[in-house]
Structure 1
C-alpha cells in the first residue's frame, strides 16, 4: 500500500490486521494474504502454534550460548555481518539477529532501545524461532522455504509480533549446500523499508562468498599437505578427499565424481559408476585409490548428452557424434538418471506410463545398443557403463547448490520439449520450476535480464514485471523489456 507512491507501513499494517482477523475467523478477507504467508500460517497452525498465547522456547541458558557461537561456521563471517548490517540496524532502530540452522538465536546486536524491546518479546539469544516453535516469522520462514523473506506486522501468526517487521535470508554451506543459519533484521513496523529483504539477501550472499573463499583456501592447504600421498601412487588412479567427501585433487583428471560418500571407519567404497576403490584415512580427509589389478582395466567410454533446448538432442561418445531421434534420446536420459540400472518393466513405466510394454522397450534397447555399442549399454539390469555427462544433470546440481547463474547457463531451454514420456515430463517440470524460482528469488538484475531472453523466461510476464521494477530508468535494457512486457500483456 502506498501514499503518493511511497510505501505506507502503518496503512499496510492496518490492512494486514484485517486480513489476519478475517482468515483466523474463517471470514472473507479484504485481500488474500501472500502465498508465502498463508502457507506459513498453515504450517504453523498445523504445529499447534496458538496466535494468542505463544512465546519462543528458551533452549539454552545465557552461559551456554558462547561455546555454540565459537564452534558455529557463521562465527567466521560475523565481522562482515557487523560491518554490513549492524550500523544500518542502529540507524534504522532495528536489531540484527543470526540463528543456526535450527532457528536458535546465537547473535543479536543493534540499538540499545530496540534491544530492550526485543527482550520483552523473547528476541534473545538461546531462544528458538522455527515456525513450529513460534509461528510465521522471518527467521523461521526463511529456514522453512530456503529463500529470503520479509514478514510485516500481522503477517506474523502470533499477535505479540504484529508491531514488528522483519526480513531474513538463509546462509548456505559452500561445501555441502546445506543451510547453516539465517540472517535477520527486525524492528518496529514504523521503521520498515521496502529494501530490507534485498539488503539481507545481499548480505547473505556476501557471507556465502566469504565462506567460499575460506573453503578454497582450506582446500589448497589440504592439497599442499597431502599431495605426497597422491604422488606415492605413481600414476595409478587415486584422489584426495575432504572429510565431507569432496574430491580436491585426483589422478587421472576427469574420471572422478565431484563428491564421494565416505563413512568414517570404512576401508572401501563403491563409486556411482560402479568402481570399487580403497579408502585410506589421512590426518585430514581421505586418500582413495584403485585396488591393484593383474592387468590394467580398459578405460571407460565418455558419453556426453545435450538434451535441453529447442534443437535436436545430441550425443557424443568418445568424441564421435551419435545421431539421435526422440525415443533413443528419452531412453538415454532415463538411464543417465538411474546409474544403478533399470528393468524393462521400470523403463516401460517411465517411458510409456501404465500402458507401457516391456517388449517394446527391449526392442528400443536393441536399436540403441546398435548406436552406442553393447559395451556402453549393458543389460541385467539395463544401464550405461560409461562416464556420463549431461546438461540436465548439470542444471540439477547447480539448483541444489543454489547457484542460479550456473544453472541458467547450463540450460539451453526445456528438456526434450517434444517428449511426452512421464519421466521426462517430470524432470522437465522440475528443472523449469526450479530454475524460474531460483532466478526470481535472486533479485539479480543481470540474471533476470538474461533469463528474460532465455527460452524458459522470454514469455514470463512476472519476470518482465520484476525487471521493470528493478531496472533503473537509465538502463539501456529497459526499453526492450518494456516492449516485450506490452507484447505479453496483449
Structure 2
C-alpha cells in the first residue's frame, strides 16, 4: 500500500468515526452510513448489543472444538481455504477465520504476529460473531444478509474493532442451499484493500464448487450402490432419493421433481402431482415406489449388504433391516461372490477350509433361509435369487476399474474383520492390498492424506513417509501426519 493509500485510508477511518459518533448520539454525520451498515446497526442495537462491549461471547470450549470441526461440512474444504487464503493472509498481516452457520469461529489461521492481537479482541475459535452477539462485523453481517460484505473501522458497532478491517462471504450447501458458514479475513486498519471482499467471495465460490464436486461423487455412489433396488421394480414407477430428499434416479425418466419432502419416519408421501409413493429406507437414502396392488405377484427381492468396517454386519431386505451375526454374513459374502451357486461341499471348503463339514453348512443355510426367506435363498445349488447390492462388491468393481478415489470413499474399513474364514480372509486381503496400491499409484497427495486417515492406512508407515515428503510446510494436515508417523516409528 502506498503512502497516498495509507493517508486516504486514515482519512476514511476518521470520517467513519464522525458518522459513528453522530449516529449513536441520535444525530446525523457529515455523510450517511452505507445502507448495509446502517441496517446492521439497527438490527444490532435492537438486539441490545452494547457498542462499548469488549469481546464476543465464548460459546464452545476448547475441548469441544475438535468434535465440532470434525462434524462440520466445511472441514472438507479446509485444505483449499488454507492453500488459497492463509499464505496471502500471512503476508498481508491478516488472519483467516471460518465460522459455522451460527457464527461460531471454528478455524483460525494466519500471521503469527497478528494472532496475539486477535486473541486480545476475541477473534478466537469458540467465540460467536453473529450481529446479536457482537454487533456489526463482517462474519455476522454476511450471515445476516447472505452476501459478501466488507466492514471497515468504525463501521463495526462495537468500538473494540474500530482499529480492524474485515471482509467475509457466506458458503452454501450445494445440496440444500442453506448457509454452512462464513469465510473471513481480518486485519489491522492499515491493511484495508478494496480487493479483500472480492478475494473472500471468490474463495467461497471455490469452496462451494469443491463441495458440489463431492456431492456429485456421493450421488453417483448412491446411484451405483442402490440401482439394484430400482431395477428390482422391473420397470415399475420408482426413484432413488438422498437423505435430504433429492432425487438422483427415477423410472420412468422425466416424471419426477428435483426434490421431495420426506417427513421423519414417513412410510409414504404424496408428490405434488397427487401420486402416492411408498418410502423404503436403504442403507443410504431411500427408495420411492408406487404401492403394489395387494393381489399382485411380488417382484424380485432387493438385498443390501454392508459388511465393510468395524461395526456389526448390516443387511436390508427390501428396505427392512435384518439383524445378522458373523456366520450368516460369511455365507452371504460367499454366495454374493458366486452368483451361479455353490454346493454344500464347496461352501464348506470356502468357509472352513479342508476341515469343513457339509452337514454343518447345510444347518447354517437352513437358519439363513429362515431369516431371509426361501424365495431369496434357493437350493440345488445354494444361490441368492435377489438383486444384491454389496458394499465390498462395489469397492472391488471400483478398484478393478481404476477408480481409486471412489473405492476409498466407498470403503469404511476392512471386510468382516472378525472373520477367519479362508474365502473372507482372501477377499479382505485382496481389497486392502489393491486399495493401497491404487492410492499409491494415483500420485494424488489429497487422496494419500485421505488414505492416511482411513482405517486401512492409519498404520502404514510408507504412506506417512510419502506425505511428509509431499505436503507443503504450511499445510494444515502436516502436523497431524508427522505426529502419527512418529508414533508409528516408535512402535515399529
The corresponding residue for 1:413 is none
Distance 1:5 1:69 in 2: 39
The question of whether the paired residues in 1 share the 8 Å contact of 2:6 and 2:190 is answered with no
**How does 1:240-319 map onto structure 2 within 5 Å?**
240-293=240-293
| Preserved CA contact (<8 Å) 2:54 2:121 | no
**Alignment of structure 1 residues 47-446 onto 2, 5 Å:** 47-293=47-293
What are the superposed Cα offsets for residues 325-381 of structure 1, whole Å, 9 maximum, x if unpaired? xxxxxxxxxxxxxxxxxxxxxxxxxxxxxxxxxxxxxxxxxxxxxxxxxxxxxxxxx
Shift of 1:295: 12
Separation in structure 2 between the aligned mates of residue 171 and residue 116 of structure 1, nearest angstrom: 27
Unaligned runs of 5+ in 1: 297-490
1:4-37 deviations in Å (ceiling 9; x for gaps): 7898221111110000001001122100000000
| Counterparts of 1:148 and 1:37, CA distance in 2 | 13
- Whether the aligned pair in 1 keeps the contact of 2:69 and 2:75 (CA below 8 Å) is yes
SS in 2 for 1:288: strand
Aligned residues: 295
Shift of 1:55: 1.9
Deviation per CA, 1:123-149, whole angstroms, max 9, x where unpaired?
100000000000000000000000000
Match of 2:381 in 1: none
Distance 2:95 2:132 in 1: 23
The CA deviation at 1:280 is 0.5
List structure 1 runs of 4+ shifted beyond 6 angstroms. 2-7
Contact kept, 8 Å, 1:169 with 1:201, in 2: the verdict is yes
Shift of the 273–54 alpha-carbon distance from structure 1 to 2, 3 Å rule, reads: farther
**Per-residue CA distance 1:378-421 (angstroms, 9 max, x = gap):** xxxxxxxxxxxxxxxxxxxxxxxxxxxxxxxxxxxxxxxxxxxx
Residues 247-303 of structure 1, C-alpha deviations (whole Å, 9 max, x = no match) = 00000111110001112321100111111110001110100001135999xxxxxxx
Q: Deviations over 1:305-328 (max 9, x none)?
A: xxxxxxxxxxxxxxxxxxxxxxxx
The CA distance in 2 between the partners of 1:194 and 1:8, in whole Å, is: 12
How many angstroms apart in 1 are the aligned matches of 2:175 and 2:30?
A: 46
Corresponding residue number in structure 1 for 2:397: none
* 8 Å CA contact 1:7, 1:194 repeated in 2: no
Aligned to 2:33: 33
Does the residue aligned with 2:136 lie in a helix, a strand or coil?
coil
Do the aligned partners of residues 77 and 253 (structure 1) sit closer, same or farther apart at CA in structure 2, a change above 3 Å counting? same
Equivalence for 1:306 = none
Task: Check whether the contact 1:131–1:141 (CA below 8 A) recurs between aligned residues.
Answer: yes
Q: From the CA coordinates, give the structure whose radius of gyration is larger.
A: 2
Partner of 2:63, secondary structure, is helix
CA deviation after TM superposition for structure 1 residue 95, in Å:
0.1
Corresponding position of 1:411: none
Instruction: Please tell me whether the aligned partners of residues 19 and 32 of structure 1 are also in contact (alpha carbons under 8 angstroms).
Output: yes
**TM norm structure 1:** 0.59
TM-score (ref. length: structure 2): 0.58
Secondary structure of 1:30's counterpart equals coil
TM superposition shift of 1:195: 0.3
Q: Tell me how far 1:3 sits from its aligned partner.
A: 8.9
Aligned-residue RMSD, C-alpha: 1.8
Q: Deviations over 1:179-206 (max 9, x none)?
A: 0000000000101110000000000000
The answer as to whether partners of 1:19 and 1:30 remain within 8 angstroms in 2 is yes
Give the Cα separation in 1 of the matches to 2:44 and 2:187: 22
Q: Contact 2:99/2:107 (CA < 8 Å) preserved in 1?
A: yes
| 2: CA distance, partners of 1:202 / 1:53 | 32
Report the CA distance between 1:54 and its aligned residue. 3.9
User: Which residue number in structure 2 is paired with residue 395 of structure 1?
Assistant: none
| Paired position in structure 1 for 2:473 | none
Structure 2 Cα separation of the partners of residues 276 and 242 of structure 1? 18
Secondary structure of 1:278 counterpart: strand
SS in 1 for 2:127: coil
Q: Per the alignment, in what secondary structure is the counterpart of residue 208 of structure 2?
A: helix
Identify unmatched segments of 5+ residues in structure 2: 297-492
